[in-house]
A and B are shown apart, each in its own frame.
Chain A
């Protein structure tokens, strides 16, 4: 029985991949005549892509309603597992425990990095891993020690449900502690706007979200840019996942398929992520 389910799942995945490669023109055709609602929650890095995809689908077919909520990767995995939403996004790979407990199916549709950012006026533009660990644990608390202005460092972090935090914590901070003085923000977008307003702040954000309002900081000599992530030079990289409980069906499946079509992958690229194809 189990084996059969697995085989069917495998077949599905193959089908999806196949669909993704063959359907060239009119990737949205699949949604014609569809009806119903699709609920998406979780990773906040995913939201721009989800919004754009939803916008295109809903403009073509107003009978479909797609709702998109944030919350963080932990929320996405939890809510899809509990059946509260149809697709749960996560900016980290779900743990084996989570996959087993909820029978999750993962779809990785983009590659992203987590970059450290500061205010554009800040002179500090490069940090070593040791320095980063010290900054976030609160050991270094003044920009002066890093060659910047004589100002206190304002550390910004995300809450525990964040996949961005999980990846950053593991790969950049080597699972070190984060100072209790850190300000909390609720999403990648919020992190970016907080840093862009705070001349002495430091935070971490999805590479896809970095724009001219904030300045990326080189980590161990590598600047977090799309190219560096793509070439594997920048090490704090991660996949962006959409997870479903069991195999996706109906509208959910069509939505995920759409993300893998050339059109969907173009959206991924235009929002600053690296397409998987």
Chain B
């Protein structure tokens, strides 16, 4: 009964979107009146299309994951391989709290950080792509830390000790044995983090996303993003055309997120199988 209810709801939601929005899925939804090739080469700006928003979301994801991966992985490694038990406990508590902080609070933090930097550091800093990507990095950091830590810790002791017994140093052991072995777990964590960056709206809403900006030129400029576009359209569309493009944007975003999700799933399975059967 409850299963049917749930399936019914989700079918309703997705079905409704596709029913309303499928007609809008064509090239002009993305590129507006501009020729696609010129847009892709950044020769001309795109209007009335989703292209700038897609590029915005894309660069946002790349940047924030770029910030978060080194720090996240390094922290994960530290927790799994170096930290003493008591230290680990304290750190884990902090990361659990960080994971629980609502995204809007992180957005608020990013916003105040931007204003603070603007006043005391440099006039050129204001809410922008850089600030947004940093805030998003804070948001996904705990996911990365946790997946890395768990992936490393779940390795069997035999794998862990062999290289050390053969005379490898701790660092060599980590980079040549432990990380390759736990790669599948780490990568699926990364992909989930990417999905989170792509879908989050609350953070970017406070830290620099705008209604119209064109393709962002530098990391210190405003930008557009798909989820914000959907939010914006939902409350202030001015004609049916715009509303329809909102449905289109929903479908695109949904497709991206679902695709990423399956990618994470497949990688996890494929790599686990390889790790299990090849060796």
Q: Do chains A and B touch in the complex (CB under 8 A)?
A: yes
Contact B222 A190 (CB under 8 A): no
Q: How would residues 38 to 49 of chain B score, 1 for a CB under 8 Å from any chain A CB and 0 otherwise?
A: 000011110100
Partner of A67, one of B43, B210, B235: B210
Q: Does chain A have a CB within 8 A of B126?
A: yes
Once the chains are docked, how many angstroms separate the CA of A82 from the CA of B119?
9
Which residues from A are CB-within-8-Å of B47? Answer: 55, 58-59
Knowing A37-B217, A37-B221, the reply to whether A69 touches B211 (Cβ < 8 A) is yes
Q: Does chain B have a CB within 8 A of A192?
A: yes
Once the chains are docked, how many angstroms separate the CA of A193 from the CA of B222?
26
Contact A67 B221 (CB under 8 A): yes
CB distance from B32 to the nearest CB of A (A): 10
Which of B127, B216, B236 has the most C-beta atoms of chain A within 10 angstroms of its own C-beta?
B236
Main secondary structure of the interface of B (DSSP, over half): loop
Contact A193 B214 (CB under 8 A): no
Knowing A59-B47, A84-B127, the reply to whether A193 touches B118 (Cβ < 8 A) is no
Contact B235 A65 (CB under 8 A): no
Contact A59 B235 (CB under 8 A): no
Which residues from A are CB-within-8-Å of B210? Answer: 41, 67-69
Which residues from A are CB-within-8-Å of B238? Answer: 48, 189, 192, 209
Q: How would residues 75 to 94 of chain A score, 1 for a CB under 8 Å from any chain B CB and 0 otherwise?
A: 00000001111000000000
Once the chains are docked, how many angstroms separate the CA of A50 from the CA of B211?
11
Q: How would residues 45 to 71 of chain A score, 1 for a CB under 8 Å from any chain B CB and 0 otherwise?
A: 001101100110011001001111110
- Find the A residue at minimum CB distance from B214: A65
- Find the B residue at minimum CB distance from A54: B212
Q: Does chain B have a CB within 8 A of A185?
A: yes
Once the chains are docked, how many angstroms separate the CA of A41 from the CA of B128?
13
Q: Does chain A have a CB within 8 A of B67?
A: no
Contact B44 A187 (CB under 8 A): no
Partner of B123, one of A83, A85, A186, A188: A83
Contact B221 A51 (CB under 8 A): no
Q: Does chain A have a CB within 8 A of B17?
A: no
Q: Does chain A have a CB within 8 A of B55?
A: no
Q: How would residues 96 to 121 of chain B score, 1 for a CB under 8 Å from any chain A CB and 0 otherwise?
A: 00000000000000000001001000
On chain B, the number of residues with a Cβ less than 8 Å from chain A's Cβ atoms is: 25
Once the chains are docked, how many angstroms separate the CA of A41 from the CA of B213?
11
Partner of B45, one of A58, A68, A186: A58
Once the chains are docked, how many angstroms separate the CA of A9 from the CA of B212?
30
Q: How would residues 20 to 53 of chain A score, 1 for a CB under 8 Å from any chain B CB and 0 otherwise?
A: 0000000000000000010101001001101100
- Find the A residue at minimum CB distance from B209: A69
Partner of A84, one of B44, B118, B212: B118
Once the chains are docked, how many angstroms separate the CA of A37 from the CA of B236?
25
Contact B214 A189 (CB under 8 A): no
Q: Which residues, 174 to 219 on A, are CB-close (under 8 Å) to B?
A: 185-190, 192-194, 209
CB distance from B45 to the nearest CB of A (A): 4
Which residues from B are CB-within-8-Å of A54? Answer: 212
- Find the A residue at minimum CB distance from B212: A68
Contact B222 A67 (CB under 8 A): yes
Contact A70 B211 (CB under 8 A): yes
The 8 A-B residue pairs with the shortest CB-CB distance in the complex, in nearest-first order: A189-B236, A67-B213, A67-B222, A69-B210, A190-B235, A68-B212, A84-B126, A58-B45
**Contacts A82-B115, A190-B236, A209-B238 supplied; 20 other A-B pairs, CB < 8 Å:** A44-B236, A55-B47, A58-B45, A58-B47, A62-B43, A65-B216, A65-B221, A66-B213, A67-B210, A67-B214, A67-B221, A67-B222, A68-B213, A69-B211, A83-B123, A84-B126, A84-B127, A188-B236, A189-B236, A189-B237
- Would you list 24 pairs from A and B whose C-beta atoms are within 8 A, ordered by A residue? A37-B221, A51-B212, A59-B44, A59-B45, A62-B45, A65-B214, A65-B221, A66-B214, A67-B210, A67-B212, A67-B213, A68-B213, A69-B222, A82-B115, A83-B126, A84-B126, A84-B127, A185-B235, A186-B236, A189-B235, A189-B237, A190-B235, A192-B238, A194-B235
Binding site for B on A (CB under 8 A): 37, 39, 41, 44, 47-48, 50-51, 54-55, 58-59, 62, 65-70, 82-85, 185-190, 192-194, 209
Binding site for A on B (CB under 8 A): 42-45, 47, 115, 118, 123, 126-127, 210-217, 221-223, 235-238
